[in-house]
């Protein structure tokens, strides 16, 4: 099928590449000329495992094209995806300016009947706005062309985006037109072979499903972080509690890892936007507000452990902290809303210097922070330890999981590790003579018990 995708970010580029991979003819459209020029030369703007070779192979095969020519892309497509950003507005609601700009562009260039598919995360009612915007453009052109707007929210995770796209656990389609659902069923057939993953519903329910999924996952994380903080106070180990509850299939093992808070481009903004939707309908979003407040506090928790270890924030003045991890999660270079950013700011405010290492996010960190005296971006995890007093771990990259504790002890002047992702066994790391502070375990629980 002939497909156009507006927005060549995490969602648009990955979805477009996966659709081309299974044989569709895909044109990716973006307004960012530099990004499109780069893609045409084989420069992939984001890090996603498995993406680069797939983009190059499909581009070379002629199934995947990149353009800024929106008109030509719309004119030749039977299915047009909207996959542009929906960042938070000042009041937390989703900013729809990019989505509606694409809708206007589609209305201006549509030549033949098509299905417009919204993949961006958008508040309930957006499909109606997109439909009205396209209809107004068609009317002003004096033409009558049949089109439908379908909601098809995306559930891929960064760091596993290609895998999630190729093997989705569900494909949600919201439309009132059975013919549109049927056409998209055929588009997605290669991803839907072994059992039916299509969940068809009305448009508004599909739009809300996306927010419900993210808000549920964020709630699980904030819940566990609250339990971790209680564990600290009562002298329990949250990791043992996690194993104790995850074995109940009604609770499950996923998304119950306590840590330094959730980040990324989705959970923070989507929880806020859903709360905003509730408020706009005179509902008090009590739970959603609490999820956000717990997360905000949790992002500052690792620094609280620094203060407890050193006795006062002022003691950090002149100290050098090695930081392992900058990205908001492993296997990505994305630092949007990353917990590392809060910790960095707190350490800098306290007068500490940071030597940071992240396997993929170094360039992104340089773009965000520029050159500064109190930040050294290192090439390896060992290099970050050179001359450091303490180590903080904030992203659970696999390579941080089994360090040589004897080497850590020799490298760190104050022999102390602050672990924002609970990667180590307290007994094992402490046996090497290292003071170990983690979330809801390690020194933090024993100190509170004492």
Ligand X SMILES: O=c1ccn([C@@H]2O[C@H](COP(=O)(O)OP(=O)(O)O[C@H]3O[C@H](CO)[C@@H](O)[C@H](O)[C@H]3O)[C@@H](O)[C@H]2O)c(=O)[nH]1
By CB under 6 A, residue 346 contacts ligand NAD: no
**Distance between CA atoms of residues 249 and 252, nearest Å:** 5
Fill in the per-residue mask, 85 to 124: x = in contact with ligand X (CB under 6 A), - = not in contact: ------------------------------------x---
Tell the smallest beta-carbon distance from residue 91 to ligand X (Å).
Answer: 20
Contacts with 47 (C-beta within 8 Å, 6 or more apart), sequence order? 331, 332, 333, 360
Q: Using CB under 6 A, which of 12, 263, 420, 426 touches ligand X?
A: 263
Tell the smallest beta-carbon distance from residue 76 to ligand X (Å).
Answer: 29
**Distance between CA atoms of residues 8 and 54, nearest Å:** 15
CB 416 within 8 A of CB 397: no
Residues 15-54 that bind ligand NAD (CB under 6 A): 29-32, 35
Tell the smallest beta-carbon distance from residue 108 to ligand X (Å).
Answer: 29
Torsion sign across C-alpha atoms 133, 134, 138, 139: negative
Q: Which residues of 415-443 are buried (b: 16+ CB within 10 A; e: fewer)?
A: bbbbbbbbbbebeebbebebbbbbbbbbb
Residues 77-106 that bind ligand NAD (CB under 6 A): 83-86, 98, 101-102
Beta-carbon count within 10 A of 213 CB: 17
**How is 85-109 classified by DSSP, letter by letter?**
---B-TTSSB--HHHHHHHHHHHHH
Q: Using CB under 6 A, which of 81, 257, 405, 424 touches ligand X?
A: 257
By CB under 6 A, residue 8 contacts ligand NAD: yes
Q: Specify the pairing of strand 79-82 against strand 2-6.
A: parallel
**Distance between CA atoms of residues 442 and 235, nearest Å:** 10
Contacts with 436 (C-beta within 8 Å, 6 or more apart), sequence order? 416, 417, 419, 424, 426, 429, 430, 442, 443
Which two three-digit tokens encode residue 423?
């990667």
CB 355 within 8 A of CB 388: yes
Question: Within 13 Å, how many C-alpha atoms sit on residue 211's CB side?
Answer: 22
By CB under 6 A, residue 242 contacts ligand X: no
Catalytically active residues, by annotation = 266
Residues 254-273 that bind ligand NAD (CB under 6 A): 265-266
Tell the smallest beta-carbon distance from residue 400 to ligand NAD (Å).
Answer: 22
Binding site as annotated, residues for NAD(+)? 30, 35, 86, 121, 158, 269, 336
DSSP 68: S
Nearest residue (CB) to ligand X, 109 versus 301: 301
By CB under 6 A, residue 215 contacts ligand NAD: no
By CB under 6 A, residue 395 contacts ligand NAD: no
Tell the smallest beta-carbon distance from residue 155 to ligand X (Å).
Answer: 4
Residues 150-169 that bind ligand X (CB under 6 A): 154-158
Nearest residue (CB) to ligand X, 329 versus 441: 329
Which two three-digit tokens encode residue 43?
């420069």
Q: Which does 251 bind (CB under 5 to 8 A by kind): ligand NAD, ligand X, none?
A: none
Mark the segment that binds ligand NAD (CB under 6 A) among 58-66, 151-159, 220-228, 368-376: 151-159
How many residues make contact with ligand NAD (CB under 6 A)?
Answer: 26
Nearest residue (CB) to ligand X, 24 versus 119: 119
Which two three-digit tokens encode residue 12?
């648009």
Q: Point out which residues bind ligand X (CB under 6 A).
A: 121, 154-158, 214, 217, 221, 255-257, 259, 262-264, 266-267, 328-329
Q: Point out which residues bind ligand NAD (CB under 6 A).
A: 6-12, 29-32, 35, 83-86, 98, 101-102, 120-121, 154, 156, 158, 265-266
């Amino acid at each position: 099928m002939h497909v156009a995708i507006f927005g060549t970010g995490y969602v648009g580029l990955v979805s477009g590449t996966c659709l081309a991979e299974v044989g569709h003819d895909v044109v990716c459209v973006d307004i960012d000329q530099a990004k499109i020029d780069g893609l045409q030369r084989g420069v992939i703007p984001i890090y996603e495992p498995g993406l680069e070779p797939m983009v190059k192979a499909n581009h070379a095969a002629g199934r995947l094209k990149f353009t800024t020519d929106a008109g030509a892309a719309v004119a030749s497509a039977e299915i047009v995806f909207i996959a542009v950003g929906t960042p938070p507005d000042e009041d937390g609601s989703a900013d729809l300016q990019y989505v509606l700009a694409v809708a206007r562009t589609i209305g201006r260039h549509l030549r033949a009947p098509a299905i417009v598919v919204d993949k961006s995360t958008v508040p309930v009612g957006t499909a109606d706005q997109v439909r009205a915007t396209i209809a107004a453009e068609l009317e002003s052109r004096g033409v009558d062309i049949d089109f439908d707007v379908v909601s098809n929210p995306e559930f891929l995770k960064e760091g596993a985006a290609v895998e999630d796209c190729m093997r989705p656990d569900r494909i949600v389609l919201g439309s009132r037109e059975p013919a549109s659902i049927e056409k998209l069923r055929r588009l997605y057939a290669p991803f839907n072979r072994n059992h039916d993953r299509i969940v068809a519903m009305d448009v508004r329910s599909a739009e809300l499903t996306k927010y419900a999924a993210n808000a549920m996952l964020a709630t699980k994380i904030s819940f566990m972080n609250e339990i971790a903080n209680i564990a600290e106070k009562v002298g329990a180990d949250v990791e043992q509690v996690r194993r104790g509850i995850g074995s109940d299939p009604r609770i499950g093992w996923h998304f119950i890892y306590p840590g330094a808070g959730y980040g990324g481009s989705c959970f923070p903004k989507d929880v806020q936007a859903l709360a905003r939707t509730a408020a706009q309908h005179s509902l008090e979003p009590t739970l959603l507000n609490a999820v956000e407040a717990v997360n905000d506090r949790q992002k500052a928790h690792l620094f609280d452990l620094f203060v407890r270890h050193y006795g006062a924030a002022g003691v950090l003045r002149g100290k050098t902290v090695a930081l392992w991890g900058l990205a908001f999660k492993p296997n990505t270079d994305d630092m949007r809303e990353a917990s590392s950013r809060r910790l960095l700011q707190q350490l800098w405010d306290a007068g500490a210097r940071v030597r940071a290492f992240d396997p993929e996010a170094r360039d992104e960190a340089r773009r965000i922070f520029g050159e500064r005296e109190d930040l050294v971006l290192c090439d390896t995890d060992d290099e970050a330890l050179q001359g450091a007093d303490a180590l903080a771990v904030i992203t659970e990259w696999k390579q941080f999981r089994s360090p040589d504790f004897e080497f850590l002890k020799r490298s760190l002047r104050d022999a102390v590790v602050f672990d924002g992702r609970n990667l180590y066994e307290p007994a094992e790391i402490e046996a090497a003579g290292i003071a170990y502070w983690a979330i809801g375990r390690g020194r933090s629980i024993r100190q509170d018990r004492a």
